[in-house]
Amino acid sequence: MKPNQAQISVGLFLLATFVGGVPAARAYSCSTQKAAGDCGFTLAGAIITPTGSIPAAAVGRATVGVSGHVTGSEARSVAGGYADETFTGTLTVNSDCTGSMTLNFYEAGTLVRTSVLSVVFVDNQQELRMVQKSFTLPNGANLPVVITAEAKRLFTDQLD
């Protein structure tokens, strides 16, 4: 059966619509410079000890510099014990939007732990998801943890 003029017209229209509607490939990537800015975060999880797990939670604010230097503060509760802490450290961002963060936490100026986190950026680097990789006390002892965190940029006008 030979196609008629109407069928050919509809076919060409659909072809043009679908081919013309395919977006051009874009080279999206993440960087430490794009991560710079202020964010708010929450974390929750547990610290595993020989006698059982201890719940931990925190909220805080962090500032990331264009070089990856991180500073901030958090209000945390571990096993019901509350403390205000400050932290400093570094953030490394890979072009595939994964990375790592190493943070030193202080209470009243005294180092209380070092945390290493694996991170992934989402939503055009507006948000960050993290899982804690290690939790090291000042005496060098490593405690196993199951802690996740989420951070969101405080101000969207900090984008490029």
**CB burial readout 43-63, b (16+ within 10 A) else e:** bebbbeeeeeebebebebebe
Tens-digit pLDDT profile for residues 52-98? 999 999 999 999 999 999 999 999 999 999 999 999 999 999 999 99
d(C-alpha 81, C-alpha 128), whole Å: 27
Tens-digit pLDDT profile for residues 146-160? 999 999 999 877 554
Nearest-CA neighbor of 114 among 85, 93, 148? 85
pLDDT at position 72, please? 98
Structural domains in the chain, CATH included, are: 32-158 (2.40.128.120)
d(C-alpha 87, C-alpha 135), whole Å: 14
The H or E element that residue 5 is part of is helix 5-20
Quote the mean pLDDT of the chain: 88
